[in-house]
C-alpha cells in the first residue's frame, strides 16, 4: 500500500492540455473516486498514475518517491478496466494466478493466494471455468481478483461497472466496498456515475474540463458544493437551477411569479434591486402547497410535464407557468396526478443556494 501524491500534474496532446494543475494526495489505504462528465480527464489522470500516460508537467509520488520516469511495470500498481481483459483460453484459477507466475512465485504460494482471493470474492466454485462460461458480474469479480491477488501498492479501477446491468452494478458496488474494507489497498476509482462516487468514495474529486472543481467527502460535496457544476452533477434528481432577479424583498422569476424572502434572510444578505442570480434548490426541499391560505401566496405555479413512478416515490418534472424553466420534485407514491395538472410548489428558502450566473461560483449556500 502507498500514499499517492499528485503535484500540479498536466498532460498535453498536440500542445493542447487535457488536464491541468491536478493536485491531491490519496492517503495510504483510502478509497478515492474521480468523477465528472465524459471527457473531463479522469481516465487520463488514472493512466498517468499507472504509468500508461506520460506526464507533461508536475510530479507524481508513491510514498514520497518520485515516479515520473518509473516504467509502469515497476510501479507495483494493479489496474482493472471496463472490458475485464481476461485471458479467454485460461481458467479462472489460471487467470487469477497469471501475474504471480510471471513473477516466478512458488506454486504452493500461488495456490494459497488463489484460494484466499476466491474465498473473498465468492468465486471458489468457478475456478475451473473459462471466461466465456461466466456472467458479466462473475468476469468482473475475476478481474478484481487478478488485480488484488499480488497485493499491489495501488489499486486503479477505470469505470469497472459500466458494462453491467443495473441490478448487478448495485450488487457489485456493494462487493467492492466490502472488498476494500478487507484488503485495505490504496484505491483510485474512475466513474461518470455519481451514485457510484457517492456510495464508494472516502473522498471524491470532481473534475470538469481537465480541472479539479472540488475535493471532499460525499457529504461535504453534496451539502456544500463550490459551484453550479458540482451542485448539479451530484444528486439524483439533480439540483434545480432557477434564474431569479431580486427586487423589493423578493426573488422574481418572471413578471407574474416571485418568492418573497423571510426578514432574517434579508438582514443577513445585502441584496440590491436588479441583481440577478441562479437560485439552486434540491428536489427534496420542494413541497406541494396544501394550505394555500397559510402559504401566503408565496409559491410557484407550475404545470406537470413528465411523471416517473419509481415505486417508493414519484419523480415529477413541472414547468413554471409563463416561463421556460422546469423544476424536478419528488412526491410520495400516494400522489395522484396527471400530465397538464397545475401544481403550486413551495420552496424551503432555508435550503437554497445562489450562484453567480456567468461564472457559476457559489455566492450563498444553506
Domain positions in the chain are: 4-233, 240-364
User: How far is it, in rounded angstroms, from Cα 41 to Cα 56?
Assistant: 14
- The predicted structure's pLDDT at residue 294: 52
User: How far is it, in rounded angstroms, from Cα 323 to Cα 141?
Assistant: 50
User: How far is it, in rounded angstroms, from Cα 236 to Cα 329?
Assistant: 10
Q: In what order do the strands lie in the sheet with 342-347?
A: 286-288, 342-347, 300-309, 313-320, 326-332
The count of C-alpha atoms lying within 13 angstroms of the C-alpha of 242, restricted to the half-sphere facing its C-beta, is 30
Integer CA distances (angstroms), 79 to 4, 71, 119, 210, in order: 15, 15, 21, 22
Neighbours of 201 (CB within 10 A): 24
Which one-letter DSSP state was computed for residue 261?
Answer: P
Say if pTM beats, i.e. exceeds, 0.85: yes
What are the pLDDT tens digits along the chain (366 aa)?
799 999 999 999 888 899 999 999 999 999 999 999 988 999 999 999 999 999 999 999 999 999 999 999 899 999 988 777 889 999 999 999 998 888 888 989 999 999 988 888 888 999 999 999 998 888 888 988 888 888 899 999 998 888 778 787 888 888 888 888 888 899 999 998 888 999 999 999 999 999 999 999 999 999 999 999 999 999 888 999 999 999 999 999 998 899 998 888 888 888 899 999 999 999 999 999 876 555 455 789 999 999 999 888 999 999 999 999 999 999 999 998 999 999 999 999 889 999 999 999 999 786
Judging by DSSP bridges, how do beta strands 342-347 and 286-288 pair with one another?
A: antiparallel
- The predicted structure's pLDDT at residue 302: 95
The third-level CATH classification (topology) of the domain covering 4-233 is: Rossmann fold (3.40.50)
The third-level CATH classification (topology) of the domain covering 240-364 is: OB fold (Dihydrolipoamide Acetyltransferase, E2P) (2.40.50)
Which one-letter DSSP state was computed for residue 126?
Answer: G
Integer CA distances (angstroms), 114 to 98, 102, 103, 119, 290, in order: 10, 15, 15, 8, 61
- The predicted structure's pLDDT at residue 293: 52
Amino acid at each position: 500500500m502507498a500514499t499517492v501524491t499528485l503535484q500540479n500534474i498536466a498532460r498535453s496532446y498536440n500542445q493542447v492540455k487535457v488536464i491541468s494543475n491536478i493536485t491531491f494526495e490519496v492517503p495510504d489505504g483510502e478509497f478515492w473516486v474521480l468523477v465528472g462528465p465524459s471527457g473531463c480527464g479522469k481516465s487520463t489522470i488514472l493512466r498517468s498514475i499507472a504509468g500508461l500516460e506520460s506526464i507533461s508537467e508536475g510530479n507524481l509520488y508513491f510514498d514520497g518517491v518520485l515516479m515520473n520516469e518509473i516504467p509502469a511495470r515497476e510501479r507495483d500498481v494493479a489496474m482493472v478496466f471496463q472490458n475485464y481483459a481476461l485471458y479467454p483460453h485460461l481458467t479462472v484459477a489460471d487467470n487469477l494466478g497469471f501475474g504471480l507466475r510471471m513473477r516466478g512465485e512458488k506454486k504452493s504460494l500461488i495456490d494459497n493466494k488463489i484460494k484466499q482471493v476466491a474465498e473473498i470474492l465468492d468465486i471458489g466454485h468457478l475456478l475451473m471455468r473459462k471466461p466465456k462460461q461466466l456472467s458479466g458480474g462473475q468476469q468482473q469479480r475475476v478481474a478484481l481478483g487478478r488485480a488484488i491477488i499480488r497485493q499491489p501498492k495501488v489499486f486503479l479501477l477505470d469505470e469497472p461497472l459500466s458494462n453491467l446491468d443495473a441490478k448487478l452494478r448495485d450488487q457489485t458496488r456493494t462487493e467492492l466496498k466490502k472488498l476494500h474494507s478487507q484488503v485495505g489497498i490504496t484505491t483510485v476509482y474512475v466513474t461518470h456515475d455519481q451514485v457510484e462516487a457517492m456510495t464508494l468514495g472516502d473522498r471524491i474529486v470532481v473534475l470538469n474540463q481537465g480541472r479539479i472543481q472540488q475535493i471532499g467527502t460525499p457529504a461535504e460535496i453534496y451539502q456544500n458544493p463550490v459551484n453550479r457544476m458540482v451542485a448539479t452533477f451530484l444528486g439524483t434528481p439533480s439540483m434545480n437551477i432557477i434564474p431569479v432577479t431580486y427586487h423589493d424583498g423578493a426573488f422574481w422569476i418572471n413578471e407574474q411569479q416571485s418568492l418573497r424572502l423571510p426578514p432574517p434572510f434579508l438582514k443577513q444578505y445585502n441584496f440590491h434591486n436588479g441583481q440577478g442570480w441562479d437560485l439552486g434548490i434540491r428536489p427534496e426541499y420542494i413541497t406541494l402547497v396544501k394550505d394555500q391560505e397559510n402559504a401566503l401566496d408565496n409559491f410557484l405555479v407550475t404545470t406537470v410535464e413528465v411523471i416517473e413512478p419509481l415505486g417508493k416515490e414519484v419523480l415529477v418534472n413541472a414547468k413554471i407557468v409563463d416561463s421556460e424553466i422546469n423544476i424536478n420534485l419528488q412526491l410520495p407514491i400516494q400522489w395522484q396526478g396527471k400530465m397538464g395538472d397545475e401544481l403550486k410548489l413551495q420552496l424551503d428558502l432555508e435550503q437554497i443556494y445562489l450562484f453567480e450566473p456567468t461564472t457559476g461560483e457559489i455566492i450563498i449556500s444553506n
